[in-house]
Structure 1
Amino acid sequence: MPPLRLLRFSQLDLAAWDACVAGARQAVPYAHSWWLQATAGRWDALVQQEPDGRYRSVWPLPAKWRPGGRQVYQPPFTQQLGLISGADDAPAIGPALPPLAQRYARFYAQLNEANGLPAAAGQFTVEARQTYHLDLSPAYDTLRAGYCADYRRRLLRHEAAAAPLIVTELPDPEPLLTLFQQTKGPAAGLRPRHYARLRRLLAGLQRRQLLEARAVRAPETGALLAGALFVRYRSRLIYLFAAASDEGKKAAAPLLLLDEAIRRHAGTPGLVLDFEGGMLPAIARFFANFGAAPVPYAALSFTSESPWYLKWMR
């Protein structure tokens, strides 16, 4: 079996990289070169390469220089990375960790759920995280019956209203970004550079026809009450980004947006809605109320005690 080798960005064959990610057993859109270029710019990587040049397995390691040395970090809008492979005999995570501890001053990486929860190795700490998944293979009526009773009642009241709110397509995501900045933005800690990365990512998703943008507007004024962005990639429908005004929350617009997405994609064999979150109890309850189940994945981290200049010399 070819070994995993640590490569810098300039050494990567991006065509071979994307072919590996596209054919991998794991559906991880975040690992595509165009996604990483939008959210991180450049990255190091562990690569397992076949003699003919094809990439068998890849592990993207977005890295940057800081005063303490070179650091691996998790880019924004990138839930999971980790080892991605199209091979049945993919290399184990554990043996790859000690060499990484020798190369980086700090390390934080969220693996994908297929990597499991590896045992701690050396300096690395393993943190269990979770997202929520909902299998969209069943028919819509079956999925809706799995909602909590309160959600089913709200949807019935909404459907019986004289002028129910309507979920429509959102051709331009920019108003949704503005709504997020006005509501969640300050608490989320996003800065202008983060929104610039998100705009680059959304442009890339739109070019590849992977983005589904939906909105709920006030009937009288047309004001945006809530919106959501979904990524449709292989066997995944990813709930990437959302925002709602106070008026939208009172009108249950976030519930309508997710219900409409579930209705549109219900009955698709093998398709899973990844809610892309669930670490906060309130958010976890919101997702679980749709009948979604928690799915664990791991985050690996360490901070080196070695002086930064020793890391630089390696």
Structure 2
Amino acid sequence: MASWGREIYQPAFTQQLGLLALPESQFPDVLQHLSHLPKRYARLYIQLNDQTPLLPPLSFTSQTRITYHLPLHPEYATLRAGYAADYRRRLRQNNELPAPLTVSQSSSVEEMLALFKQYSGKAAGLKSRHYQQLQALYTVLQQHNQALPLEVRAFETGELLAAALFVRFRTRLVYLFAVASPAGKKAAAPLLLLDSVIQRHAGTDLVLDFEGGMIESIARFFANFGATPVPYAALSFTQRPWYLQWIR
């Protein structure tokens, strides 16, 4: 019998995760592990990673979600040639300015988070605890040399126009978190951030995972860098208490 009220849900700032088990787990594979979860939990929602192709047990609902990947092994000139023509034009226009906007590495994520709270936090539904979690995550990533926070500032005022946190892990470069002010969007600062990280890592064995693509406008933004859609599964179930299971 399931323990009513116990739930499994996707942690914040993890687009893809999967199942975690101890080495001594009694379940030898993911599918068998999944089949036992409805006995222990009332609800579940998890997003598996794109390396876990499977057909879930019948008690689960499966949804296909999309992220975008861009392999970075070609040289930068080749990668840039794959951008949409408008993106290449806007990059040229920025370079032709008397004081072009530039991308630099951030010393912290505090100002990035403050900018997100100001312009996007309410719509995203993030609470104070979520910002604390991201700050704690950034601290750990820094300790392991896996964090790459980048920013674009206005030349004259130093105003933060856009910022992003990338995470390097094994063969992935993950576009984990990003924000831009209205002025930053107008100046194409998000485009500059992504172009910079692509240029920095061109010719490596990394794959840039944009961690998104379910919203049409965002998917189009990623695709315009030459990235291609990659599917992964989201699994869920909701159990009724035994005293409601007779209802159809």
Q: Deviations over 1:108-144 (max 9, x none)?
A: 111011111x324232000000110000000000000
Partner of 1:192: 128
Question: Which one of 172, 188, 193 corresponds to residue 257 of structure 1?
Answer: 193
Question: Which one of 30, 49, 55 corresponds to residue 119 of structure 1?
Answer: 55
Contact 1:83/1:115, CA 8 A, preserved across alignment: no
Question: Which one of 23, 32, 41 corresponds to residue 104 of structure 1?
Answer: 41
The offset of 1:93, in angstroms, is 3.2
Contact 2:8/2:45, CA 8 A, preserved across alignment: yes
Query: Cα RMSD over matched residues?
Result: 1.9
The offset of 1:162, in angstroms, is 1.3
Partner of 1:50: none
Contact 2:105/2:149, CA 8 A, preserved across alignment: yes
Partner of 2:69: 133
Contact 2:34/2:56, CA 8 A, preserved across alignment: no
Alignment of 1:55-204 (within 5 A): 68-83=4-19, 92-116=29-53, 118-204=54-140
The offset of 1:147, in angstroms, is 0.3
Question: Which one of 140, 144, 148 corresponds to residue 212 of structure 1?
Answer: 148
Q: What is the rounded CA distance, in whole Å, between the counterparts of 1:168 and 1:186 in structure 2?
A: 27
Contact 1:130/1:279, CA 8 A, preserved across alignment: yes
Partner of 1:291: 226
The offset of 1:94, in angstroms, is 2.8
The aligned amino acid for 2:181 is S
Q: What is the rounded CA distance, in whole Å, between the counterparts of 2:18 and 2:179 in structure 1?
A: 28
The aligned amino acid for 2:85 is A
Contact 2:101/2:154, CA 8 A, preserved across alignment: yes
The offset of 1:307, in angstroms, is 4.4
Q: Unpaired segments of 5 or more residues in structure 1?
A: 1-64, 309-314
Q: Unpaired segments of 5 or more residues in structure 2?
A: 22-26, 244-248
Q: What is the rounded CA distance, in whole Å, between the counterparts of 1:84 and 1:264 in structure 2?
A: 33
Instruction: Classify the secondary structure of the residue corresponding to 2:51.
Output: helix
The aligned amino acid for 1:237 is L
The offset of 1:69, in angstroms, is 1.4
The offset of 1:210, in angstroms, is 0.7
Task: Report percent identity of matched pairs.
Answer: 58
Q: What is the rounded CA distance, in whole Å, between the counterparts of 1:154 and 1:79 in structure 2?
A: 30
The offset of 1:83, in angstroms, is 4.4
Contact 1:83/1:112, CA 8 A, preserved across alignment: no
TM-score under structure 2 length normalisation: 0.91
Alignment of 1:18-37 (within 5 A): none
The offset of 1:159, in angstroms, is 1.1
Partner of 2:239: 304
Q: What is the rounded CA distance, in whole Å, between the counterparts of 2:146 and 2:33 in structure 1?
A: 33
Alignment of 1:269-288 (within 5 A): 270-288=205-223
Instruction: Classify the secondary structure of the residue corresponding to 2:14.
Output: coil
Q: Deviations over 1:57-89 (max 9, x none)?
A: xxxxxxxx9xx411000000011111479xxxx
When residues 233 and 186 of structure 1 are mapped into structure 2, their CA distance, relative to the original with a 3 A threshold, is: same
Q: What is the rounded CA distance, in whole Å, between the counterparts of 2:28 and 2:137 in structure 1?
A: 30
When residues 291 and 91 of structure 1 are mapped into structure 2, their CA distance, relative to the original with a 3 A threshold, is: farther
